[in-house]
Amino acid sequence: MLNKLINLIILFTLSFLFLAFSLPSLTQDLSSELNLKRKVAISRFSNETQSGMTFLVDDSGDRLGKQASDILSSRLTSTGKFIMFERVDKDEVDAEQILLGMKDDGIIGVDYLIVGSVSEFGRSTDSESKVFKRTFNQRAFAKVNVRLIDVDSGRIVFSQEGAGEAVSTTESKPFRAQSAGFDQSLTDKAISQAISSMVSKLVEKLTNKPWKSFILDKDGNDYIIAGGSGQGIEPGMELFVFSKGKKIKNPQTGGFMELPGKKIGTIKVNYSYGEDDFSEISFASLTTGELGDDYDQYYISDK
């Protein structure tokens, strides 16, 4: 009996010591998890509804489409997972032309381009009379479609549709006139609801792709890579260097695809420099491996 008690005490003591030493390590691993932001470009949504040429337009020609892209951009930014590039050229809704425009503007390293449209929009009013009051209802309904384009391949890799409705109710007393214009805030609310219904799946798809950056140049012993603290890159962070995979043509689709890259080394971030998230660069030292002079053949990733 005494031996069993001693064994239990020893087992309890060893378990306690194991937990005491393991928990700090686990906490440190979780706290050091990288949170590197992806670069996402979003274009102004097109307005495919009948209202696109009537009352829901502004000086640029489309207020409804701009509202949709602004709301989605705000939602994605608020997650803290993305750096958003807005493409507001009203005459360019074709994805291929937008991608060419991004290259001409010197925007590099963008992972995805989001294009979309407001496919349906409607307003309605109704009323209900009771003994001592009359209820007036105003409704707005919207349906939004988005397409996610992989910038490297130019292919649509994800599409999603969302719908939303917003209602405003007012009441009036008997024998009293009720006169009110349509509540314009319902437009924003309906579009916001439509985007909310699909944003979680969109975020999941956007973060499935491994984070990437690129080597821009070399300064002395330091390599200059795109991105800085605004993108989640911090001094002391270790990242992997990959050689780009070979590009091959798929005879079934006629499109080109890039084979997986090969891990060839690691770099350690020394410091970052830049005025904002879009112009930041980081200086890093090569800790393992060797690199050639053609930096276009490499990319940086966290895993």
220 and 204 share one domain: no
Q: Which helix (H) or strand (E) holds 85?
A: strand 82-87
CATH number of the domain residue 60 falls in: 3.40.50.10610
Choosing from 180, 208, 236, the residue where a domain stops is 208
109 is in which domain, residue-wise? 38-208
What's phi and psi for 119, nearest 5 deg? -90, -25
pLDDT at position 27, please?
35
Residue-wise pLDDT for 64-92, tens only, equals 888 888 999 999 999 999 988 876 554 55
Distance between CA 165 and CA 186 in Å, rounded?
8
Domain-located, residue 3: no
pLDDT at position 31, please?
32
Query: Where are any strands of DSSP class E within the chain?
Result: 38-43, 46-47, 82-87, 112-129, 134-150, 156-172, 212-213, 215-219, 222-226, 238-243, 247-249, 256-258, 262-273, 281-288, 298-301
Domain-located, residue 4: no
**CB contact at 8 A, 281 and 288:** no
174 and 294 share one domain: no
88 and 226 share one domain: no
Label residue 19 exposed, middle or buried (CB < 10 Å: 0-12, 13-18, 19+). Answer: exposed
Distance between CA 35 and CA 23 in Å, rounded?
22
Choosing from 192, 208, 224, the residue where a domain stops is 208
Closest CA relative to residue 53, chosen from 41, 45, 61: 61
**CB contact at 8 A, 279 and 228:** no
106 and 221 share one domain: no
pLDDT at position 51, please?
56
Distance between CA 298 and CA 202 in Å, rounded?
28
Q: List the Cα angle 239/114/145 in 5-degree steps.
A: 140
Total domains, the chain: 2
Local structure of 228: helix, strand or coil: coil
132 and 151 share one domain: yes
Domain-located, residue 162: yes
Domain-located, residue 24: no
Distance between CA 263 and CA 240 in Å, rounded?
7
Average pLDDT, stretch 128-136? 74
Domain-located, residue 43: yes
- What would the two tokens of residue 22 be? 């393991």
Neighbours of 278 (CB within 10 A): 14
276 and 186 share one domain: no
238 and 282 share one domain: yes
Domain-located, residue 12: no
Domain-located, residue 33: no
Of 80-84, 109-113, 130-134, 187-191, the one with minimum mean pLDDT is 130-134
Closest CA relative to residue 218, chosen from 143, 285, 120, 303: 285
Domain-located, residue 17: no
Residue-wise pLDDT for 8-63, tens only, equals 555 555 554 444 444 444 333 333 356 789 989 888 788 887 654 454 554 455 67
204 and 216 share one domain: no
Distance between CA 225 and CA 299 in Å, rounded?
9
Quote the DSSP letter at residue 260: P
Residue 112's Cα: distance from chain center in Å? 8
111 and 239 share one domain: no
Distance between CA 294 and CA 217 in Å, rounded?
9
CATH number of the domain residue 248 falls in: 2.40.10
138 and 274 share one domain: no
Higher pLDDT, 232 or 85: 232
pLDDT at position 29, please?
38
172 and 292 share one domain: no
Choosing from 208, 225, 260, the residue where a domain stops is 208
175 and 231 share one domain: no
Residue-wise pLDDT for 151-167, tens only, equals 877 788 899 999 999 99
Distance between CA 178 and CA 196 in Å, rounded?
33
